[in-house]
Chain A
Amino acid sequence: MGAVIFSELESESIEIIREVAATAINPVMLYSIGKDSSVMLRLAQKAFYPGSIPFPLMHIDTGWKFREMIGFRDRTAMQVGFKLIRYTNPRGVIEGIGPITHGSAYHTDVMKTEALKQALDLYKFDVAFGGARRDEEKSRAKERIFSFRAPGHRWEPKAQRPELWNLYNARINPGETIRVFPLSNWTEADIWQYIRQENIPIVPLYFAAKRLVVKRFGQWIMVDDDRLPLEPGETPEMRMVRFRTLGCYPLTAGIESSAVTLDEIVAETLGATTSERQGRVIDHDGAGSMERKKQEGYF
């Protein structure tokens, strides 16, 4: 099993990436450093090989990513040789906005959603690739592959275009932009099996290791630097944990695991009974919170 499905998924994604490169005026690939971004990057390399990737990759840096992610990002940009744009919302920096002082919802609004909109406007990107998958979250499940955004980057779920087979309509009306999701039809298990098959480099945080963590609301939060204030009664301890998904470290919980190889991660993923988004604090900010964030311009 496997190989046939991957060649189908891979071909579909590469076709999508090439379609954008052929039709967009100024495309960009959103690079979040996670496993899905790593797969999307590999697909972009394959789409234009032996040429180089004909668009930049952009990381929206909230300032609260795991330190290992930033190191991995810079090494990867050097090794692969793509153009990397790093963008952080200057207002957030000036006002010192963070998830601990301002709450996860406001932090995400300012440092991710607002930052992304600022960056797209600043560089005048008309199309932005994102690594979102339909199996991640219910508001992502109903996304088109080519997702149109009204002026101001608003997502109108009911105003999306029909998408028949692999016929994509990339024609942009004045003021519109598109978010394109080449990994729409991949599942978490597909991603891991493809990473194993292709031996794609990923951030070491995905592999289990002894890490300094603290239990908060029943979940393991990593003490990645000295900015995480401890609540009364909290004592950091060393635990074997790994991360199924990576974001801002105070908002991303690890799971206890002994999986230190890709084979073990694949086995664990195939046997998982909970979704990877369970470790994402921001998904649980309120009913339909991802849909609201998407309407405001979040991925």
Chain B
Amino acid sequence: MDTLRFITCGSVDDGKSTLIGRLLYESKLVFEDQLEALK
């Protein structure tokens, strides 16, 4: 398993955190209780 390093650039509310969150979710790195806390 290789380490992927990346950065996001953008203005306020452009969706940086949303994009990172989605990448974590799609790569199955978000636990159920963490997801539940966000809902």
Measured CB to CB, the closest approach of chain A to B17, in angstroms, equals 10
Report if B6 contacts A (CB, 8 A).
no
Report if B33 contacts A (CB, 8 A).
yes
Binds B, one of A58-66, A97-105, A235-243, A269-277: A269-277
Distance in angstroms between the alpha carbons of A205 and B32 in the assembled complex: 24
Q: Size range of the interface on A?
A: 10 to 19
For chain B, residues 1 to 38, give those with C-beta under 8 angstroms from any C-beta of chain A: 1, 3, 31-34
The reply to whether B34 and A275 form a contact with Cβ atoms under 8 Å apart is yes
The reply to whether B32 and A273 form a contact with Cβ atoms under 8 Å apart is yes
The reply to whether A1 and B1 form a contact with Cβ atoms under 8 Å apart is yes
Contact for A5 among B3, B31, B33, B34, CB less than 8 A? B3
Distance in angstroms between the alpha carbons of A275 and B36 in the assembled complex: 11
Report if A225 contacts B (CB, 8 A).
no
Distance in angstroms between the alpha carbons of A123 and B33 in the assembled complex: 39
Q: What would 9 A/B residue contacts be, using CB atoms closer than 8 Å?
A: A1-B1, A2-B1, A138-B34, A272-B31, A273-B32, A274-B33, A275-B33, A275-B34, A277-B33
| Chain B interface residues toward A at CB < 8 A | 1, 3, 31-34
